Structure 1
Amino acid sequence: MQSIFWSVEEVASRAKQFYENGIRQNVEHGDNIGKMSVIDAETGEYGIDPTGVETALNLKQKNPNARLFTIRIGYDVAVSFGGAINQLVVV
C-alpha cells in the first residue's frame, strides 16, 4: 500500500469524522468509557483497549503506513499536558 501524506490536522479531521459517523454509537457505553479508541484515518478501522497501545500496534501490523488517531472514549480529549495537547495523534 502506498504511503499517504496527510498533515496532523487532516488525520485528526478524518478520524473524527469516522468517530462521529458511526464509531461513537458503537463504543460509548458503560465499560468502554475512559478507554482509548485508535482509529485508522484512511480506512475507519478501529479498536479499543485501556491505553491504546495494543490497538495501535495491531493496526500498524495490518498496515505499516496507517495514519492513526487516538481518542479517549466519552471525553473531549485523549491526553492533556498542562492544557497544551488536546488530542494524541499517532502518525
Structure 2
Amino acid sequence: MAQTVDELRNEIRVAVGRFEREGSAAFTKEDLAAICDAVEYEVETSGRLPPKAEMRAGILWKIGALEENNPNAAPSSFRKNELEAIETTVQ
C-alpha cells in the first residue's frame, strides 16, 4: 500500500532523530535543519535558523531534485515524490 504524505513526513522525522506528529503537520524549521544535516547540507545553526525556503532548496539540491541551490525555485512544501526521495536518502 502506498504511503501517505503524512506517513512519509513522519518516517523522515524519525530517521533524522525528530519525533512523529499526529495528523497533518508540515516540517518545522528544526525538522528541516535535521534533514539538512542528514543530507549533508550545512546550515548555520549557531543563531537563528535560515528561512524554510532556503533549507528546502538546499535539501532538494542535495538529493538531486533541483539543479541549483535556489530558494526561489523550491516549492512552498515538498511534493510526495520529493518526500519519497528524501526518505530514501535519510534511511
Give the number of the structure whose residues are more often strand, by fraction: 1
Give the number of the structure whose residues are more often helix, by fraction: 2
Q: Please indicate, yes or no, whether the TM-score normalized by the shorter chain is above 0.5.
A: no
Instruction: Give the alignment's TM-score, normalised by structure 2.
Output: 0.31
Instruction: Give the alignment's TM-score, normalised by structure 1.
Output: 0.31
